[in-house]
Amino acid sequence: MNNKFFITLCMLILFFLLSCTQCLYADDVIFIMHKQVKDPIKPSIIKKIYLGKVSRWNDNQRVRFYTFDSDDTTETFTKKYLSKSKRQFNKYWKRQVFTGKGNIPKSIKSVEEAIKIVSKTKGAIVYLPEQKIDNETIRIVSITN
């Protein structure tokens, strides 16, 4: 009986730790977009964009979305906005490519590179680790649920 108690306790602890995986990742993400994108941004739109369900902004401008090359930031983003792990997100896009339904989003390696690409690419959007960015050539959006 003592053994059953120990196993149950371990399972409860494991369940608690797995349900709190958000604690292990970065606090939050922000989104930067090309200055001309005026669409309101909310979590449901982000999900549709990053799953390839929306390809045009309201002004008919093509959506060009990028990922940020950071395991922690991507894990935080995919969990919070897509309800997927980073691994599930990558598998999703590999499946999309295999079936001819889309291309794997391009990855950006640094905040500086993200600002440069987004400011020059009409319709662009990318998530970044939450931080202070002071730049007038892009639109910066922080989404609260």
- Give the chain's domains with CATH numbers: 26-141 (3.40.190.10)
For all residues of the chain together, what is the average pLDDT? Answer: 87
Tell me how many degrees the CA angle 34-136-65 measures, rounded to the nearest 5.
20
Least reliable range by pLDDT among 4-13, 73-82, 120-129:
4-13
Least reliable range by pLDDT among 72-76, 80-84, 130-134:
130-134
pLDDT tens digits, residue range 30-59? 999 999 999 999 999 999 999 999 999 999
Look at strands 106-108 and 124-129 and give their pairing: unpaired
Q: Answer with the residue of higher pLDDT: 17 or 88.
A: 88
Least reliable range by pLDDT among 26-30, 86-90, 104-108:
26-30
